[in-house]
Amino acid sequence: MPAQLKHIQSIASLTDEALLVEFKKQNDQQLLAQLYMRYTSLVYGVCMKYLKDAEAAKDAVMNIYQELLTKLQTHEVDNFKSWLYVVAKNHCLMQLRKDKKMQIVEFTPTVMQSEDFSHLDDVLEKESELKKLEFCIEHLPDEQKQSIQLFYLESKCYNEIVEQTGYEWNKVRSLIQNGRRNLKICMEKNG
């Protein structure tokens, strides 16, 4: 039996944990690829659930693999399958959030120039709402304010906020939920 085939078979028999340890030691992408291949259907399923498009899901599966190359260098992973599920989910949510920001506006030549200034009322109303929102954000407790700003204004996912703030994942989730609720109350009170 050729040496290469024996090597592949020995890699295939390793546990997830052993493959992770060896990947971190050797930085051998073949080890990570072997581990990732075990869970590509799981990742694809998660991506289909969130992205609802086969081509986008396939692209996401490839992009997530690329993310793993860097993330695994800095993260301690106890249960690869669970951790990968969360990485895939967060990747898809970030993709959806990014896609929402890119709005396509149709060009309508007849609307380009007009002597009607009623659109300024909308602008002033939105500006007023933004000022209220800024006021309410500033009056949140510090931890909620920081979490809300990182999540909504800087588009960070929960895991990135955990890394940046040192808070536990559940605390970040709670701070964002409570912050959102407090913002709604403040906006209604100052409405």
Q: What percent of the chain has pLDDT over 70?
A: 81
pLDDT at residue 1, as a whole number:
47
pLDDT at residue 30, as a whole number: 86
Q: Which of 156, 147, 159 is nearest to 183 (CA)?
A: 147
Whether 87 shows a pLDDT value over 90: the answer reads: yes
- Alpha carbon distance 11, 34 (integer Å): 7
Which two tokens mark 120? 């300024």
At residue 5, the pLDDT reads 42
pLDDT greater than 90 at residue 91: yes
Return the pLDDT at 70.
Answer: 87
Contacts of 156 (CB under 8 A, 6+ apart): 150, 164
CA distances (Å), origin 134, targets 127, 130, 184: 10, 6, 12
Question: Do residues 158 and 174 make contact, with C-beta atoms less than 8 angstroms apart?
Answer: no
The domain locations on the chain are 3-101, 122-189
Asked if pLDDT for residue 92 goes beyond 80, the answer is yes
Dump strand ranges (E) for 21-143.
none
Backbone φ/ψ region at 33: left (φ over 0), alpha (ψ -120 to 50), beta = alpha
Asked if the 3-101 domain carries CATH number 3.30.43.10, the reply is no
Q: What is the mean pLDDT of the chain?
A: 82
The pTM of this model reads: 0.49
State pLDDT tens for residues 97-150.
887 755 555 555 555 555 555 555 666 677 778 788 888 888 889 999 898 888
Q: How far apart are CA 38 and CA 12, in angstroms?
A: 10
**Fold match, 3-101 / 122-189:** no
Rounded CA-CA distance 60/46 in Å is 10
pLDDT at 126: 76
Mean pLDDT score, 154-180: 88
Using the predicted structure, report yes or no on whether residue 75 has a pLDDT greater than 60: yes
Out of 63-77, 82-96, 150-164, give the one with best mean pLDDT: 82-96
Give the pLDDT confidence score for residue 37 in this predicted structure: 92
Q: Which CATH architecture has domain 122-189?
A: Orthogonal Bundle (1.10)
Using one digit for the tens of pLDDT, what is the confidence trace for 26-52? 888 888 888 899 999 999 999 999 999
Q: What is the pLDDT of residue 4?
A: 47
Cβ atoms of 95 and 68 within 8 Å: the answer is no
